[in-house]
Amino acid sequence: MKTEIFTLDSQYSTTRCVIRTQPIIENNPEDKIHAVLFLPENLERKAEGGLRTQGYFKNTQIDKPLISVITVVFNGAEYLEQTINSVIGQTYDNVEYIIIDGGSTDGTLDVIKKYEGQIDYWVSEEDKGIYHAMNKAISIATGEWLNFMNSGDNFLENNILKSVFLNNVQSELIYGDHEIRYETLKKTVKAKEIFEMFKGIPFCHQSMFISKNIQLSYPYQYEKYKFSADFDFIFNYLTSNKYSVLYTNFVISSVEAKGASNKNIYTTIRENQSIVLNKFDAYWVRIYYRVRLVEVFFRETIKLVLPERAVDFVRKLI
């Protein structure tokens, strides 16, 4: 029996291809994350909602793979709305949008509820940090592809998903370039070559689309790494000798320069070093990261001395 696809509201990417038939969830024995349609009951839960709770679901179509966009947020009311609008405003028709809130107290829930009719599933409950929240989102995403677009970040253009997925993609990981927003400057950053991955993530996480099947096998190690669990996943996947990646020269995302890893740059560098050394215990790795720490020390010291506009001027020159 063919599942009927219909439109709830043609204005939004998340309401153009909807079904009433609940998708069948299958779990493979080798998967490290257990897939479900709804998160299990939680005494810490403040609220949950979205199209899925109203009996509306999504599925992958022959010519339109379902893309699950995930936003993890905690007390991000100030910038969350711009992120939501960049997702639901996409011209691509088959988008599933999931928001995992860590129990915000600043008005974030009010913003989420404002878009109740365009979000597939959202939940607000205390968690163990950003990577724990991302693992929860992976478990309930039903898309063929996953993208993480956190509060304050957004897709650069409304047609970017349509551009990336215009043709049938055979890879397991797609990545592109990104824009960084500083206080007085926006700067486009090209993705690095894959062989440079020992230095850190060679591309912006928000500019990455990963096959859900792969992500189920590589959960984020939130109990082990506070700021580098995404690097741990990407580094281990790209050094597995069985990876399949595709670079697309689109500027996919626009991100704030003041993310959690940037605010805790020294800890992030040390965690990255630990991840690389776990696989390649080489002297040159230790030398590289020592030099990196010294470089960051001088850079951060200069930033403390100079006004932000002067720092942005230097960024523009380099």
The two tokens of residue 9 are 């509201």
For residues 96-116, average pLDDT: 96
Residue 18 has pLDDT above 60, yes or no: yes
The pLDDT value given to residue 139: 97
The pLDDT value given to residue 260: 57
The two tokens of residue 115 are 């878009």
Q: Which of 157, 160, 135 is nearest to 148 (CA)?
A: 135
The pLDDT value given to residue 1: 47
pLDDT, one tens digit per residue, over 233-283 is 999 999 887 789 999 999 999 998 875 555 688 999 999 999 999 988 889
Q: What confidence tier does 307 reach under pLDDT thresholds 50, 70, 90?
A: confident
State the DSSP H helix or E strand holding residue 288, giving kind and residue range, or none if neither.
helix 283-305
Q: Which of 30, 259, 261, 313 is nearest to 151 (CA)?
A: 259
Residue 134 has pLDDT above 90, yes or no: yes
The pLDDT value given to residue 317: 64
Instruction: Give the rounded distance of the alpha carbon of 289 from its chain centre.
Output: 26
pLDDT, one tens digit per residue, over 49-78 is 999 999 999 999 988 999 999 999 999 999
pLDDT, one tens digit per residue, over 184-211 is 889 999 999 998 999 999 999 999 999 9
Q: What is the mean pLDDT of the chain?
A: 92
For residues 86-109, average pLDDT: 97
Residue 168 has pLDDT above 80, yes or no: no
Report the predicted TM-score, pTM, of the whole model to 2 decimal places. Answer: 0.93
User: 17-26, 160-169, 216-225, 297-306: which range is least confident on average?
Assistant: 297-306
The pLDDT value given to residue 46: 94
185, 257 contact by CB (below 8 A):
no
State the DSSP H helix or E strand holding residue 278, giving kind and residue range, or none if neither.
helix 265-279
87 sits in the region (left: phi over 0; alpha: psi -120 to 50; else beta) called: alpha
